[in-house]
Structure 1
Amino acid sequence: MPSTVRFGANYTPSRGWFHHWLDFDLDAVRADLDSIAALGLDHIRVFALWPYFQPDRALIRPRAVAQLVQLVDAAAERGLDVNVDGLQGHLSSFDYLPAWTRTWHRRNLFTDPEILDGQAAYLRTLAAALADRPNFLGMTLGNEINQFSAGPHPDPDRATSDQIDAWLDRMLAACEQGAPGRTHLHAEYDATWYQDDMPFTPAQAARHGALTAVHSWVFNGTAQRHGRASVPTEHHAAYLIELSKAWADDPHRPVWLQEVGAPAPLIPAEHAPAFAAATVAAALDCPDLWGITWWCSHDVSRDLADFPELEYTLGLLTNDRRPKDIAHTLAALARDHTYAPAPRTTALVVPADPASRSRCAPGGDVFEAFFRLTADGARPTTVLDTRADDPGHLAARGLTDVVTPSQVLGAPSGGTAS
């Protein structure tokens, strides 16, 4: 029987972007939420800017927390469930970190005991404030917070993977303490899957938290290398969904496509609806998909300065809340889709060693082999090289055919396709 996939949007306020927390206008928020609900979406992801909510390690602003609750209640009135991101962290090329973590007070975000105490208290407070709201889905620890832990960030807070393990355990536990039984998770950008020296690992993404979140952005080299209407570009989100399954211990662990968008100029506005339709169709062909949450709800206003150009045009709706063609496409998909994917029985072998993750990145042999198989209609998933000969693991996942990149590409395993 078909199961349900959630369709939603990452909420970017139409007035003031996330700086709206400084000048909170509930009527404006309600109007934004009306425009999102009118598309037939069922949930939003909301971002609390960390330094605005916790400007001092010992001060979590009650008014900011109350305004977050008001937003969640307004969403409930419109039939929208809400996931809340806590540690923002990083958004749309800007970093938002409290002064008590930087410059004269510089301390490591992932290892300093006092920083950890402050973070845990903050996440627990937000979760507890929403624990009795039926439409509160749960907490995401923060948006792509892995970008603070390694290059290319200009001032990274270095940590080992073991230290990140401990950080994830503690922060997820704080969310659970605040709101027991909700869907608490963490979410990183694709360096987790592609960058050899990233201390946030694929195993952590696939094993910590209630489900796995993936963020799919084809400006990572995919669209540049293959073109806007190519199989890799249109199936990149599906690839990340299926790539994540190699590391999961639960053979049916849910995966949330938590961010995906149509970035110009790689995906021009006139092609964005077709890109959205192809991306969603490919994702809906992935078993165990929890939901699809488009980035983003409303355009960034051009009254705001210094954003990368693409950020001004990513919205489903304009600043005056008018739906674009891509919004109509997504609304139709949310309304009319059927979710009943057949099992994926062919598995491509991927390296378990996180120091070999670049093989999974655009241009790597795993990446290229996956899309060669996809173009041939094979509907691949992935399996770790350490599990590829484990009959119990293969049977639990329904895998009947295991292939290596070299078998697909005709090149030595570990090579790079050209």
Structure 2
Amino acid sequence: MVIDAFTQGKTRPGEDPISTLRFGVNYTPRRGWFHAWHDFDPAHAREDLDQIAALGLDHVRVFHLWPLLQPNRTFIRPAAVDQLARLVDLAGEAGLDVLVDGVQGHLSSFDFYPAWTRSWHHRNVFTDPEAVAAQAELMRTLGRALADRPHLIGLQLGNELNNLVEHNPVTPAEVDHYLDTLLAAAREHLPEGRLATHSAYDAAWYGDDHPFTPEASARKGDVTTVHPWVFSGDCARRYGPRSPQVLHLAEYGTELAKAYAEDPARPVWVQETGAPEPHIPAADAPDFARATVRNAAGCEGLWGVTWWCSHDVDRSLADYPELEYTLGLFDSRGRAKPIATALAETVAEVRAGLHPARPRDTALVLECTPSTRSVSGPGGAYFEAWTALRAEGARPAVVLAERADDAAYLAARGIKDVVRLP
């Protein structure tokens, strides 16, 4: 699929290529969180979106709830689809482009299953043929409904679907079939240049024998999405919130993802990163945001950065993990937090060309198997070696051991030297 000027920041010939980078936020409604879909209020949504646009961000990622969209396996609610289309239109009116996630089975520690997949109706959402076909039809329906929206970036299958594997056992081969089926359905009605993507949380990259694999993330869909969270592997607590391991985590996730791609030019999207308390204390959050964006922007092939999230979860809502109440750029009353100002200022710096991407001509070789994938995550030997080099001022790329002697591949990535762990 050719990624056109729309999906790369609407650049035109002669424009500074730095403007191709996209910066946005994952939209969490201020009033009622995602339960707001039960009684969608366009005025409230527009207020939230205007606040986001005022930060100078250019896109949002939005989420409807799967049980509300598809309450029966063979019934997709037109009213719910219309709500989603209305939100996309409101975002466009605010000057924001939109990525729409489709099958919302997991959001912020809660799982959302339609009743037809649970209890004595239980169907494995990854392997049951009729359940997979139903999800594919949902993606087709959303694509058909949104195809003519000029501000649509594309469709994503859903948010971190690999969170559902505990209750839906699946093999890597079955995951591949599931992703291929839904991505094909998502593309069916999308205009040329719009993206069809999928996402996974960090276990796909760091989890030994996790059924969602790095290869699936880096080779299926039109861009690779990464969600480098500082709580994965207890990273921030292990190394400290101001450590190089934390401040370069999104950069590292981007470079790791590039190593698994077959196409050296495949873009990587830092689609979720944020500053959850207490992992990142509130006083450190602005500097964390600045460092995260600046360091990620230094990676060649970066599609963009999308912060998690727009608005704090209101504490009147119960039973969220503590960190979920603190992740917003805006608090639950709609007031911009210091991290919002820091992010806006840093995005403006990057757009002004102050933190340009630069080639990486030296790569650190990653040797692992599906059963030893954790070496590349926080606490792992490879992760610690890469971040130690970065703290010393080096800018290493990542290359898989099986490609370390492939001269043509290394040349395509601009890699001149490879370094192996002792």
Write the letter of the residue equivalent to 2:178. W
For 1:76 and 1:2, the matched residues in 2 are separated by 23
Q: Any conservation in 2 of the 1:238–1:283 contact (CA below 8 Å)?
A: yes
Which residue matches 1:184?
A: 196
Letter in 2 for 1:325: P
Aligned partner of 2:356 among 303, 326, 340 = 340
Q: Secondary structure at the match of 2:402?
A: coil
Q: 1:178 to 1:2 in 2, by over 3 A?
A: closer
Separation of aligned partners in 1, 2:259 and 2:93 = 39
Q: Distance in 1 between matches of 2:283 and 2:364?
A: 34
Q: Does residue 218 of the first structure (1) align with residue 230 of the second (2)?
A: yes
Task: Judge conservation of contact 2:293–2:347 (CA < 8 Å) in 1.
Answer: no
Distance across 2 between alignment mates of 1:397 and 1:74? 40
- Determine the C-alpha separation between the residues in 2 that align with 1:298 and 1:202: 30
In structure 1, distance between residues paired with 2:138 and 2:70: 7
Tell me the equivalent position of 2:76.
Answer: 60
Q: State yes or no: 1:112 paired with 2:124.
A: no
Q: What pairs with 1:42-191 in structure 2 (closer than 5 Å)?
A: 42-149=58-165, 153=166, 156-181=167-192, 182-191=194-203
Partner of 2:371: 355
SS in 1 for 2:259: coil
| Aligned counterpart, 1:245 | 258
Q: Matched residue of 1:246: which SS?
A: helix
State the one-letter code of the partner of 1:170. T
Distance in 2, matches of 1:45 and 1:352, equals: 33
Is 1:265–2:278 an aligned residue pair? Answer: yes
Q: CA deviation at 1:6?
A: 0.6
Q: Distance in 2 between matches of 1:119 and 1:178?
A: 15
Q: What is the alpha-carbon distance in structure 2 between the residues aligned to residue 319 and residue 65 of structure 1? A: 26
User: Structure 2 counterpart of 1:102, which letter?
Assistant: R
In 2: Cα distance, 1:351 partner to 1:44 partner: 36
1:203 maps to 215
Once the two structures are TM-superposed, the CA of residue 2 in structure 1 deviates from its matched residue by 3.9
- Of 286, 301, 311, the residue aligned with 2:314 is 301
How far does the alpha carbon of each residue in 1:295-323 deviate from its partner, in whole angstroms, 9 at most, with x for none?
Answer: 00001011111011111111001122111
1:313 maps onto 2:329 in alignment: no
* Runs (5+) with no aligned partner, structure 1: 407-418
Contact 1:90 1:96 in 2 (8 A): yes
1:27 corresponds to which letter in structure 2? A
Rounded to whole Å, the distance in 1 between the matches of 2:398 and 2:273 is: 21
Q: 1:2 & 1:179 partners in 2: Cα distance? A: 26
- Once the two structures are superposed, residues 251-284 of structure 1 have per-residue CA deviations (whole angstroms, 9 ceiling, x without a partner) of 1110000000001012111110011011111101
Residues 143 and 86 of structure 1, relative CA distance in 2, 3 Å threshold? same
Identity of aligned residues (%): 57
Post-superposition Cα deviations, 1:211-250, rounded to whole Å, max 9, x if no partner, equal 0000011112111110010000100111110001111111
User: Do 2:368 and 2:375's aligned partners in 1 also have CA atoms closer than 8 Å?
Assistant: no
Is contact 2:206-2:376 (8 Å) kept? yes
Rounded Cα–Cα distance in structure 2 between residues aligned with 1:194 and 1:233: 16
TM-score, with structure 2 as normaliser: 0.93
Deviations 1:56-100 (A, max 9, x none): 111111001001111100111111000011111111110001111
